[in-house]
Amino acid sequence: MTMKRLLFLLATACLTTACATHKLEPPAGFAQVERDDYSTTMMAPDHVGLNVRVWDNVKGGSLSFWGEDLVNKLGARGYALRAQKPVESKNGVAGTRFDFGYTAPDGVEKFYSAVLFTSDDYRVVLQVAGNAELGPRYLTRLDSIAGETKVRGCKLVNSLCKSAQPGPLKTQAPPAQTEKGSETKTET
């Protein structure tokens, strides 16, 4: 077999799921409702969602960098970080789990947890969310689900796949709003 033919076969194989950006089979109690190379959407019968979203990573896109970005963006949207801890994917990629609480616009209390993984090529976020009273049922399973997730795109040398964990992070309270939508002044 020529080298050209071998490279063609390897490239063709990577177009299949063997080289997809991520892999996660639906855990017990979830059905896969959508899938492509950059996302998977699953749903439980009680409307708890489990999603995997993938974005291309950039130079300098470490676990610490993206972890701080995620917490800051969610904090600005009113999410409150409740817990943070290290996790690991099935294929050994370092990740961080962030557990949040928030109140939806309709006043219903919700839970949202995100497990962030970074590889050299991708930023992968495993998300689970639903009504707050359902949180304990799903959050106890999240580390196991994260441990079944495969994250692709690791280099052999100097890989972001073994990034250091972010330091302890916290969300800032969003600015208070008046009835007209302008910020109110608060004393600190």
Domain layout of the chain by residue ranges: 21-154
Q: What is the pTM of this model?
A: 0.81
Tens digits of residue pLDDT in 96-118: 999 999 999 999 999 999 999 99
Classify domain 21-154 at the CATH class level. Answer: alpha beta
Q: Which of 8-12, 119-123, 129-133 has the lowest mean pLDDT?
A: 8-12
pLDDT surpasses 80 at 173: no
Q: How confident is the model at residue 15 (pLDDT cuts 50, 70, 90)?
A: very low
Whether the pLDDT of residue 66 is over 60: the answer is: yes
Q: If you search the block for the tokens 């196991």, which residue do you land on?
A: 144
